[in-house]
Amino acid sequence: MIILGHPGARARGLAALVRGVSLGVCSVLLLSSLASGQEDPSIQILEPEYQQAQAEYEAAFRALEALEGRLTQALEDVDEARAAGDEARTDQGYDLVLQLSGDLRLQRQRVDEKAEELRDARTSLLQALRRRVDELLADVDSARDDSERSALAAILQDVNNRRLEILAEEDPETVLEPMRDITISPTDLPIDIRRKAATLDYRAEQHEARLEGIDQRLEELGQDLRRSRFVSDFLSGVERYGDTQLPVGRPGSQITPPTDPEQRPPGADSLAVETRPMTLEERIQRLEELRTELEERIQLIRAKAERFRALAGGGGGE
């Protein structure tokens, strides 16, 4: 989980980074930031919304864990009461188990809803950060002197670090699930076989829709990779020629690693072993592999559907 510093501390840190820059340059940067915020929801609006969505999700998940613990205890109490032959206590225990089971079902729905809200808030903030990085990179071309380039570099590095933090928190790419087989039985009539062919067509259409989503995701990650390289090249140039020592990130903060595919949600297991975060290049490679697997599966499904229709036209039977 990312912990943001106190607003006052962040302001003092930024002031230290741009110390020595003229008041006129600061005014230009401020006006540029305000102008960009008029076109789209600003980072200043979306950041608190994301933090709120994150806090609400974590609270809902903690409540889910608490209910699971209470249900487990209630089930153990019922077992003890039954073993002791205490019917009254057993009945009371069953009533509590039924109540907690209903509460748990509703709480799981709430966690799912809060997880979706968190994903939406994360996506909106990430898009705003991407736009801001692009704006700052474009401003570099119009920088009047080394001081202004240094100021842009300081702001750019902080915004880019935040972009990488949010990008790393996105859900990991999933693997392709095993394909459930559909076969023809000796008792199937032609209409039954055609229905199974239609089911295969539907599955292929679902995979094709997922393929479109992967293509969009690959485009976004490709842009993020190019964006990261542009930022890295610019910052390296400033450090090499501008006599500016830029910090690695915001004072007291670190880039949060991506969520591991096997890691439970926040607070679920504080002893979980952390693994190395996937790089953008590795994410792109995994998506390209997944795309290839999907294309091959779609071809197999479509071919099987055609075979089924041919068999149905010939009277059925495999």
In whole numbers, what is the pLDDT of the chain averaged over residues?
78
Residue 111 has pLDDT above 90, yes or no: yes
CA pair distance 90, 245, nearest whole angstrom: 70
Amino acid at 81: A
Confidence of residue 143 (pLDDT cuts 50, 70, 90): confident
Pair of tokens at residue 16: 């230290």
Residue owning tokens 């930022």: 231
For the domain spanning 41-142, the CATH number is 1.20.120
The answer on pLDDT for 82 being more than 80 is: yes
Portion of the chain with pLDDT greater than 90, in percent? 53
At residue 248, the pLDDT reads 42
Q: What is the pLDDT of residue 142?
A: 81
Question: 259 and 172 in contact (C-beta within 8 Å)?
Answer: yes
Segment 146-163, tens digit of pLDDT: 888 888 889 999 999 999
Place of tokens 């401020």: 30
Sequence-ordered list of residues with C-beta below 8 angstroms from that of 273, at least 6 positions apart, any chain: none
Residues 6+ apart with CB under 8 A from 185: none
175 vs 137: CA distance, rounded Å: 35
281 burial level (CB within 10 Å; 0-12, 13-18, 19+): exposed
> Would you state the structure tokens that stand for residue 252, as one six-digit string?
């007291």
pLDDT, tens digit (0-9, with 9 covering 90-100), for 2-23: 333 333 333 333 333 333 333 3
| pLDDT exceeds 80 at position 270 | no
Residue 180 is predicted with a pLDDT of: 83
Distance CA 18, CA 285 (A): 39
pLDDT value at residue 40: 55
SS3 of residue 231 by DSSP: helix
Q: What percent of the chain has pLDDT over 70?
A: 73
> What's the confidence (pLDDT) of residue 241?
56
**pLDDT, average across residues 187-192:** 90
pLDDT (tens digit per residue) in 179-189:
888 999 889 89
* 3-state class percentages of the chain: helix first, strand second, coil last, to nearest 5: 75, 0, 25
The number of helix segments (H) and strand segments (E) in the chain equals 7, 0
Q: What is the predicted pLDDT for the residue at 193?
A: 92
Residues in the chain: 318
CA distances from 281 to 228, 229, 285, 286 (A): 11, 12, 6, 9
Q: What is the DSSP-derived secondary structure letter of residue 227?
A: H
Of 205 and 258, more confident? 205
| Mean pLDDT value of segment 25-38 | 40
**Region 25-29: what's the mean pLDDT?**
37
Amino acid 51 reads Q
Question: Where does residue 225 rank: exposed (0-12), middle (13-18), buried (19+ CB within 10 A)?
Answer: middle
Q: Is the pLDDT of residue 27 over 70?
A: no
Q: Residue ranges per domain, the chain?
A: 41-142, 181-318
Q: 316 with 190: CB under 8 angstroms?
A: yes
The confidence score (pLDDT) of residue 282 equals: 86
169 or 265, higher pLDDT: 169
Stretch 195-211: mean pLDDT = 94
**pLDDT attached to residue 138:** 87
For residue 52, which amino acid is it? Q
pLDDT category at 203 given cuts 50, 70, 90 is very high
